[in-house]
Amino acid sequence: MPVNHEYGRGGALAYLAAYDVHRAKVFGRCEPKTGIGPFMNLVTQVMSTEPTPAPNASTGSSTTVHPTAAERPSPD
């Protein structure tokens, strides 16, 4: 029995995705085929978004928590 070893996708779409770790966001797109062209479309989509701003020292990356009146030690 002859066997054909070529793979045919039969019209299936390719899903390409990229993950933005700073925003916890997935950029995704469906393309009719794979290859450098569809990949570059995804790269263009990702690179055209505004970058996540870097933490600023004036806003502070840590939060100072002040105790409430009930939590403050009493002045003896």
Per-residue pLDDT tens over the stretch 47-68: 888 776 666 655 555 444 555 5
Lookup: tokens for 58 = 């004036």
So where are the chain's domains? 14-47
Task: Give the pLDDT of residue 1.
Answer: 78
Task: Give the pLDDT of residue 71.
Answer: 55
Task: Give the pLDDT of residue 54.
Answer: 63
In contact, 40 and 50? CB cutoff 8 Å:
no
Decide if pLDDT at 31 tops 60. Answer: yes
Quote the DSSP letter at residue 60.
-
As a 3-state breakdown, the chain gives helix, strand, coil percent values, each rounded to 5, of: 15, 20, 65
As a residue count, the chain comes to: 76
pTM, rounded to two decimals: 0.51
3-state secondary structure of 2: coil
> Token pair 């062209």 is at which residue?
37
